[in-house]
């Protein structure tokens, strides 16, 4: 539409397989936009290790400004052994943590879905709501010496309340069940977490069922009985670990997307890392990046495009087209992406078929 503002997307491909999976997502984005009624403004910028190599820092100031100005950020992956010896404050991971903090994206939504689990059993459908800008990754003081090191796990009541609101609101759109995961029998921060979540549920979300679970038990139950979970609410560290564990339910980290939401520009990224061992080999699974793109389309007001993308991925997987992380005889990244584009074209053609006129109805 000529008078409609283009959707401004900043792509931060990053390191390792990041450029490969974001390239796949970009191909899907271009095709879905071509047949829809919206225009795109795509900007690409260096981030993580790539930015360190180019300008000496993982999050250049101009890239942060671009992120603030964009409607959404699509991120690939960052990090790798090439930057292991860089000073901590200049490592790729520090750039990612700062990006999240500067954008105020405190809620990370990680859906875990599969029609059938490779571990056996029925369908998998749960959502991990991870607090993203607090906890031990951001707590101070912290110190490292050759003789001693320590980190601080810190949460305020405000930080706990705002992420709990997100979890309860997400649960209301699902089956109204929240499992809050902590370690309240050991950690003071978890005791406050449990108290605040319980109080908020009682005061504002009595229609949502709440249960509390220690993180060690939660890890076991996610593997043994994933169907008992709907929304899992947890802190930064526990959410990081449990979402990786949950990938075993669907077969690969390469399948899991995420959305980081909050007060500023949302960030969409695959859950997986940069996988430097397969970078450049055309072996990466692009599904998580493409599904992250679908979540992005929902966020920018294009639910039809989001649905088409999800259908195209599902049809491709259901047809038996898989990458090597799912099947030793699987196809390459580029071949899988081509199959998704072919499925998307069929879906788009079907959506263009006009409804039959009433005069021809029997």
Handedness of CA 51, 53, 54, 57 (dihedral sign): positive
Handedness of CA 346, 314, 338, 299 (dihedral sign): positive
Do the beta carbons of residue 4 and residue 38 sit within 8 Å? yes
One of 15, 71, 155, 183 is an active-site residue; which one? 183
Write the DSSP assignment of 166-211 as a string of letters: HHHHHHHTTTSEEEEEE-TTT-HHHHHHHHHHHHHHHHH-TTSEEE
- Length of the chain equals 362
| CA atoms in the 13 A half-sphere facing the CB of 8 | 8
Q: Can 101 be counted among the known catalytic residues? A: no
Which pair of structure tokens corresponds to residue 276?
A: 């430097």
Which residues does 154 contact at the CB level (< 8 Å), separation at least 6? 134, 135, 136, 138, 139, 140, 189
One of 15, 182, 230, 240 is an active-site residue; which one? 240
Which pair of structure tokens corresponds to residue 213?
A: 């679970």
One of 39, 53, 216, 327 is an active-site residue; which one? 216
| N-term to C-term CA, the chain | 36
One of 125, 151, 161, 244 is an active-site residue; which one? 244
Which residues does 179 contact at the CB level (< 8 Å), separation at least 6? 210, 211, 212, 213, 218, 229, 230, 231, 232, 233
Closest by CA to 33, choosing from 66, 12, 8, 10, is: 8
CA separation for the pair 271, 348 (Å, rounded): 28
Q: Can 240 be counted among the known catalytic residues? A: yes
The residues that are catalytic are 137, 183, 216, 240, 244
């Amino acid at each position: 539409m000529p008078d409609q503002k283009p959707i401004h997307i900043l792509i931060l491909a990053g390191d390792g397989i990041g450029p490969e999976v974001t390239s796949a997502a970009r191909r899907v984005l271009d095709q879905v936009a071509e047949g829809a009624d919206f225009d795109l403004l795509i900007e690409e910028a260096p981030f993580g290790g790539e930015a360190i190599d180019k300008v000496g820092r993982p999050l250049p100031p101009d890239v942060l400004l671009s992120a603030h100005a964009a409607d959404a950020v699509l991120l690939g992956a960052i990090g790798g052994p090439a930057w292991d010896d860089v000073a901590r404050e200049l490592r790729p991971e520090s750039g990612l943590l700062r990006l999240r903090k500067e954008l105020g994206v405190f809620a990370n939504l990680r859906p875990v879905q599969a029609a059938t689990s490779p571990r056996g059993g029925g369908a998998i459908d749960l959502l991990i709501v991870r607090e993203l800008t607090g906890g031990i990754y951001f707590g101070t003081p912290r110190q490292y010496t050759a003789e001693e090191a320590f980190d601080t796990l810190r949460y305020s009541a405000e930080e706990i309340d705002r992420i709990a609101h997100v979890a309860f609101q997400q649960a209301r759109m699902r089956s109204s069940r929240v499992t809050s995961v902590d370690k309240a029998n050991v950690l003071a921060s978890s005791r406050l977490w449990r108290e605040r979540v319980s109080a908020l549920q009682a005061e504002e979300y009595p229609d949502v069922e709440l249960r509390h679970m220690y993180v060690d038990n939660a890890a076991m139950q996610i593997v043994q009985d994933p169907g008992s979970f709907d929304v899992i609410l947890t802190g930064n560290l526990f959410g990081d670990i449990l979402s990786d564990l949950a990938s075993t339910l669907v077969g690969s980290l390469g399948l899991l997307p995420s959305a980081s939401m909050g007060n500023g520009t949302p960030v969409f990224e695959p859950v997986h890392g940069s996988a430097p061992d397969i970078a450049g080999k055309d072996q990466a699974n692009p599904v998580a990046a493409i599904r992250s793109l679908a979540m992005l389309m929902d966020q920018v007001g294009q639910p039809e495009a989001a649905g088409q993308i999800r259908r195209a991925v599902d049809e491709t997987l259901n047809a038996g087209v898989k990458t090597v992380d799912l099947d030793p005889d699987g196809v390459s990244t580029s071949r899988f992406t081509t199959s998704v584009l072919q499925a998307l074209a069929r879906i788009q053609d079907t959506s263009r078929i006009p409804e039959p006129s009433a005069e021809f109805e029997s």
